[in-house]
Each structure stands twice: as structure tokens, then as C-alpha cells.
Chains A and B, each alone.
Chain A
Amino acid sequence: MTLLDVKNVSIEYTTEAGVLKAVDDVSFSLEVGESVGLVGESGCGKTTLAKSIMRLLAKNGSVSTGQMLFKGEDLVTKSDEEIRQLRLNEIAMVSQSAMNALNPVYTVGDQLVEGIMTHTKMTKKEATDRAIEVFRMVGLEAKRLKSFPHQMSGGMKQRAIIAMALTLNPSLIIADEPTTALDVVVQDRILQQIIQIQKEINSSMILITHDISVVSETCETIIVMYGGKVMEKAPTRIFFKTPAHPYSLGLNNAFPSIHEIGEELISIPGAPPNLMDEQNGCRFQERCPFKTETCETKVPELEEVAPGHFSACHYNDQVESFREACKKRETWELVRDRMIEERKRGVS
């Protein structure tokens, strides 16, 4: 059953310098109980997309086109009050460095109980019991409810935040880089706990991260975004075995692995496009080794390359040869040379 169906959504920020199209015509859907990893570089629109689902965009940002059907109802057209009702009850978010968002002058327990009472009809006693229960689920002792944020470590605060998000068994959890600021041992434990709880309460999850290895360990589906567009969507296992889009192929080369000896990393030359500029054609063209004239003018659509595996490239039929070519350093050196040539033309 489909829980969330995002259809052709574009999101724009109005700035003094003009309109920035942070998300451009993105569609994807999420089944009940499914976990999706949304990955991409900074500025690719992944956080914007997630925030828009809960209507938490900055004031200058808005969904310009498209629909977001949550349990069949369009979130985009709902009133603020209706969205407020959904928050925490139905959709909960664990945001980036949310641990710094705790109010320093209240105990975490008070903040948790307040949240529960605002969104339900529970009495204080019931809310407190529920708080103790969710604290246990995330591995915190009940006495921690009486702690102030400064008395807790980063990991504990992040756990408290996760507990808050999960208190009302939401159908959708949006976790935006939930463990980025934490040490690797803590990160691993917390991710495991999130997954476990998500499975227990059978909610769906969107996990936003820049680290594809985290997705590999936690999510069933992966969506790769670049420059405000979805480049590839696939079941995680298939993605890591046979990535299809040139950008994903490049990402795989650039990722150091702890277990491989003598590997050679190859980066993708260049940087993501500036979304303030008018975008024509494929967003990745500038850094793509296989760019042609078509790529400069025509926007590639997501095409199914294998069951459940979608890639937005004009040359999906050549994926086999791309895959081979992408493993070679020379392929990417050509892109670098092309960029240097272009800059030289600019200098002279």
C-alpha cells in the first residue's frame, strides 16, 4: 500500500538575487513500512524536499507545482492547521543536529510530555508513562527524563530527540542526517535502534544522508538526487551491484572502503551546478564523461532500466559500457581536461 506519493513536485526559494529552483519535478512513492535512503551532495535538494513534506520550509520557500499525496490526501493544499495535526501524530522528523534544538531551561522529560499532550488528549500521567516507554525503546533510562540537555552527551540528546519523534507511532519518519555529528560507534548504535523501532511500529522512513554506506546498511530503497533532480532510484542491493547513472558510477569510485586494500579512489571533477542559474538539459552534464549535445538541451526522464530500477540518463542503453569506462581514471581525467579547457577560454 502506498503511504506517500510525491508527484512532479518543484520547490522554489525566492531570494534577493532571483528564484532558486531547489527541487525540480521530482516524483517518488513510499510504501507502508518501506525505508528509503535519499542521498546526494550538499545543495541537491534532499533536505528541502523532506522539509516540504512537513511544511517546514523557510518563509521564502514554497512548493510551486506538484502534489504530495499522504494516505491519499494532498499535503500541498492542506491548511496550516491540518498539517499541524499531522505532525508528530502521523509524520515525525528527526532533523540534522536536532540535539541542539532542545530547550536548555526545561528538562527533556518536560519537553517530551509537552509534545505528547499538545498532539493528543492524554493526561499528564499517561503522557509521562508513554515518555518512559519510548525512552526505553531508544535505550535511555527513565531517570533521564529529569535531566536537562546540558547534563546529557550528544548521543543521549540525539536519542531523546528520536524518542520524541517516535512517541505517537507516526506512519512516516523523516530522519535528516540523524547521526552526522556523532562518533562512529554511537552513530552505528543509534542507526540500528532507529531501524529496529521503525520495523517494530511498522512505519515508513525517509533517511536523508550524504553517506551511501549508511543507506546500504539501513534502507531498502535508495534515491540519488543531484542538482534538484532524482538521478537514480533502485532497490539498495541492486544499486550497489549495478548502479546505472553516470553520477552514481562516479560516486561509487569516490567512496573509500575500509576493507579494500590498495584501492584507488577516483573523484568526480568539478562541483554541483549553481541552481540560481537557468538549467538546461541534464544537471550532471558538466561533470559527465559521456556528455553529448542532446544532454545540453534535453532533460532526461527517469526510465526503468530493470524491474524497480530507474535512471535519468539519455543513454541508459549504453549502461554496460559506461560502467566499464567509469572504473578507469582516464575517463574522468577527460572531464577534468574539458573543464580546464573551458576555463582557459574564459581567461584569454
Chain B
Amino acid sequence: MGTPLIQIKDLKKYYPVNKGLKDMFSKEKVFVKAIDGIDLTIHKGEILGLAGESGSGKTTTGEILVRLQDATEGSITIDGHPLDVKDGKLKKSFRKEVQMIFQDPYETLNPRFNVFDTIAEPLRIHGLRDKKVLYEKVIKVLEIAELKPAEHFIFRYPHELSGGQRQRVAIARGIVVEPKVLVADEPVSMLDVSIRADILNLLKRLRQDMGLTMLYVSHDLSTIKYLCDRIAIMYLGKIMEIGPVDEVVANPRHPYTQVLLSAVPVADPDYQKERIIIDDEAPDQINLPVGCRFSPRCPFAQEACTRCDHSFTQVGEDHYHACIFEKEALKPRGSSSV
């Protein structure tokens, strides 16, 4: 394992909820605990995949890391420098270190900016004015993002580009300031299948050539499996399992991971799938269950799960999970044990 570049400690994000007039006068504050105390370490040059259902807190984690949102509590250090996670004001230099790629390539580009302006803007903000240097830099980064020949694309507007090309422009804009960290939130989910692989391969290559460290946020386990070194599975603001991606996919330990993996569609009609059927209702994010957050839906839940505090058990090299039971000790719900 390399040196840790990003260290996230006990990160929390609570959103206050005001349900109605009555609550406005009551003293008790109600919160949605989007992230409820997570620790994550991302090593230099590593791609960490953050997976989970909607409402698990994965996007919020990414947004706090690029400081689009303030955290309620916790600390983040990037390359040894602590980050003020509660204050929205940022030094400009931070944006040179951490950049983000968003989900929708149709919304993230300014329709009135051509490719050159889009990519040159961050450089201008950071004080580069020389037109010739700007042009050369943009050409270079377009080539890196595989928009070749760059001269063909440089003065085009977003509406002249396909979805895949737009996402490449967005990536070029992200990497033009040569950041250390790239946060990508579902960067391929809006793209057609035949183009997806291209963007994933591009991200892989950027890690190799530029030594980028990445946080890849997605609900799509297959793309995480393809791109990432490690995977962290989130559920209701907590990390349920984290480990090397091949290991977690081949040998999932937490019941939630097992459920998720068993639901991924497989493009092989002969594949015999063992489904784990659970209640698929979205959980209540305000009234969280006591103990393990997954226990109300867990097919193996026992009485002891109410005492679970989501602390990690190590089960392999770098492989941790937050279930209190060993894999062998998992028993169907309702059967007497413990």
C-alpha cells in the first residue's frame, strides 16, 4: 500500500429537518444523518469506489471532499494539510488540488462557452493570461482526454458534441490544473454503454500517467469493479464493508454487500444466480434503527444486532466489514441462536 493522500476521520453530515409549524417551536431538533461518522483513507494513486443505494451518503461524501458542502463534524487531511471542513470559504489553491467530474455531461458545460473557454477558465482563474500558453495547454489536455485532433474540437460548442465527447471536455477541464485528487460522481451513468468503457479507460489511464488519486462514486458495482482498486460500501451514512474490490466481490462478508451483489444483473443466460430476497423498501432516514442500520432488512438479523455499533472487523488484507457475525455464524432471521 502506498502513502495515504486523503484521510477522512469521523466525518458527519446532518441535515436539519423542519417538518412543520409544530416542530419549529419544539426544542428537539430533527436531523437526517446523511453521513454518520465515517473513516476513509485513500492512498496516493489509488482509485477508491464508493457504492451504495440512493440516500446512503455516497454523493455527500464526495461533495464534502471537494468542499461543495460543509461537514457537520470530522476532519479531512489532504497530503498532510488539514482542511477546514466547516467553513465554506476556500483558498483558491485548494481547487488546484481537488477537482470534480459530475454525472450529467449535458448540464455541466456552459452552453455559451466553447471548448477552449471551458477548459481555459480554470487556468485563467489561477492567473494564467497569456493567450498562446493557454491555447497550447488546452490543446495538450484535449489530446490527453483523447479528443483528437484537438484542433477539430477546440472551438466547438457543447451542442456540437456527443455525450461522450462532452464528458471528455469535462474531464479535460478537471485535469487541466493538474490536481492531485479527482472526485468523479457517476461519470458514466448518463452515457450509452458503447461509450462508457471509453471514459472508464480514460480515467484508468489518467491515474497511470498523471498519478491521480480518485474517489469514484457510483451505484453501479460493475463499473466500480472494473475501475477501482478498493471499494467501500455505504448504507444509511455508515460504511458497511471496505476492501480490495476483487476480494469484496468474490468474497463479500457483510450481508448488505451480499444482497447488493446478488441483485446485479449478469449478461450470461447460463449463470445460475442465487438471489437473496430482502424487503426492498427504502429505509427511514430520520428514525434510524437501533444498532445495525441494515438489521430491519437483513435476512440474517438477530437480537444481538441491536448492539452493533458498526465497528470494523478485519477479515483479510485491507478487508474490513461492520457486521458483528462471522460469515459462518450468519443464520436466517428468526432461527434461534446466540
Q: Please name the residue on chain A nearest to B152 by beta carbon.
A: A343
Q: Within 8 Å CB of A33, what residues of B?
A: none
| Beta-carbon contacts under 8 Å, B188-221 to A | 192-198, 200-201, 219-221
B164 near A271: Cβ-Cβ < 8 Å: yes
For residue B290, CB closer than 8 A to chain A, the reply is: no
Does A162 reach chain B (CB closer than 8 Å)? no
What CA separation (Å) do A331 and B197 show in the bound complex? 16
Binds B, one of A16-24, A79-87, A180-188, A309-317: A180-188
Q: A155-B281, A185-B259, A344-B149 are in contact. Are A253 and B268 (CB under 8 A)?
A: no
The yes or no answer to A105 lying at the interface (CB within 8 A) is no
- CB of B304 closer than 8 Å to a CB of A: no
Closest partner residue, chain A, to B221 (CB atom): A258
Asked if A268 is at the interface of the complex by the 8 Å CB criterion, the answer is: yes
In the assembled complex, B163 has its CB within 8 A of some CB on chain A: yes
Q: In the complex the two chains form, is A41's CB within 8 Å of B192's CB?
A: yes
Contact yes or no, B266 A216, CB < 8 A: yes
Q: Is the CB of B260 within 8 A of A240?
A: no
Interface residues of B in 239-280 (CB under 8 A from A): 246, 249-250, 259-271, 273, 275, 277-278, 280
CA distance A156 to B260 in the complex (A): 19
A153 within 8 A of B: yes
In the complex, whether A154 has a CB less than 8 A from a CB of chain B is yes
Known: A184-B260, A188-B265, A259-B266. A267 touches B149 (CB 8 A): no
Instruction: Decide: B200 and A216 in contact? CB cutoff 8 A.
Output: no
Nearest to A239 among chain B residues (CB) is: B269
Which among B53, B259, B282 has the greatest number of chain A C-beta atoms within 10 A? B282
Partner of A189, one of B53, B250, B277: B277
The count of chain B contact residues (Cβ–Cβ below 8 Å) is 49
Contacts of A1 in B (CB 8 A): none
Contacts of B192 in A (CB 8 A): 41-42, 210, 272
In the assembled complex, the CB of B260 is this many whole angstroms from the nearest CB of chain A, namely: 6
Check A211–B269 contact: CB distance below 8 A.
Answer: no
Measured CB to CB, the closest approach of chain A to B294, in angstroms, equals 11
Query: Are B246 and A258 in contact, with the CB atoms below 8 A?
Result: no
Q: Does B162 contact A (CB under 8 A)?
A: yes
The stretch among B25-33, B36-44, B87-95, B222-230 that forms the contact with chain A is B222-230
- Please tell me if A123 contacts chain B, counting CB pairs below 8 Å: no
Q: Which among A184, A216, A254, A266 has the greatest number of chain B C-beta atoms within 10 A? A: A184
CA distance A255 to B267 in the complex (A): 9
Asked if B223 and A256 make an inter-chain contact with CB atoms under 8 angstroms apart, the answer reads yes
Known contacts A213-B267, A216-B265, A271-B162; decide if A185 and B221 are in contact (CB<8 Å). Answer: no
Q: Is B148 an interface residue (CB 8 A)?
A: yes
- B263 contacts A184, C-beta separation under 8 Å: yes
Interface positions, chain A 196-210, Cβ under 8 Å from B, are: 210
Is B337 at the interface (CB under 8 A from chain A)?
Answer: no
Supposing A153-B282, A251-B193 touch, asked if A185 and B260 sit within 8 A by C-beta, the answer is yes
Cα distance A341–B196 in the bound complex, in angstroms? 23
Give how many A-B residue pairs fall within 8 Å (CB-CB).
136
CB distance A268 to B194 under 8 Å?
yes
B54 touches A (CB below 8 Å): yes
Interface centre among A153, A183, A236 (most CB of B within 10 A): A183
Query: Is B151 located at the chain interface by the 8 A CB criterion?
Result: yes
Q: Which of A186, A189, A263 contacts B226 (CB 8 A)?
A: A263
Q: Are A256 and B280 in contact (CB under 8 A)?
A: no
Contact across chains for A267 and B282 when beta carbons are under 8 A apart: no
Shortest CB-to-CB span from A147 to chain B, Å, is: 13
Q: Please name all residues of chain A whose beta carbon is closer than 8 Å to the beta carbon of B165 when the two chains form the complex.
A: 271
Please tell me if A122 contacts chain B, counting CB pairs below 8 Å.
no
Contacts of B197 in A (CB 8 A): 253-256, 265-267
- CB within 8 Å of B: which of A138-169? 153-156
Give 1 or 0 for each of B153-196: 1 = CB within 8 Å of chain A CB. Answer: 00000000011110000000000000000000000000011111
Pairwise interchain contact A185-B53, C-beta atoms closer than 8 A: yes
- A183–B54 touching, CB < 8 Å: yes
A347 to B278, CA, bound (A): 57
List chain B residues, Cβ under 8 A from A227. none
| Contact status B278-A344, CB under 8 Å | no
User: A257 contacts B280, CB within 8 Å?
Assistant: no
- On whether the beta carbons of B164 and A259 are closer than 8 Å, the reply is no
- Measured CB to CB, the nearest residue on chain A to B223 is A256
Q: Is the CB of B282 within 8 A of A155?
A: yes
CB < 8 Å neighbour of B193 from A187, A254, A344? A254
With A250-B194, A267-B195, A340-B148 already in contact, the answer to whether A154 and B282 are too (CB < 8 A) is yes
Binding site for A on B (CB under 8 A): 53-54, 148-149, 151-152, 162-165, 192-198, 200-201, 219-223, 225-226, 246, 249-250, 259-271, 273, 275, 277-278, 280-282
10 further interface pairs, Cβ-Cβ under 8 Å (given A155-B280, A256-B222): A156-B281, A185-B278, A212-B193, A237-B269, A240-B268, A251-B194, A255-B197, A259-B249, A259-B271, A271-B162
| 6 shortest interchain CB distances as A-B pairs | A265-B197, A267-B197, A213-B267, A271-B162, A188-B263, A267-B198
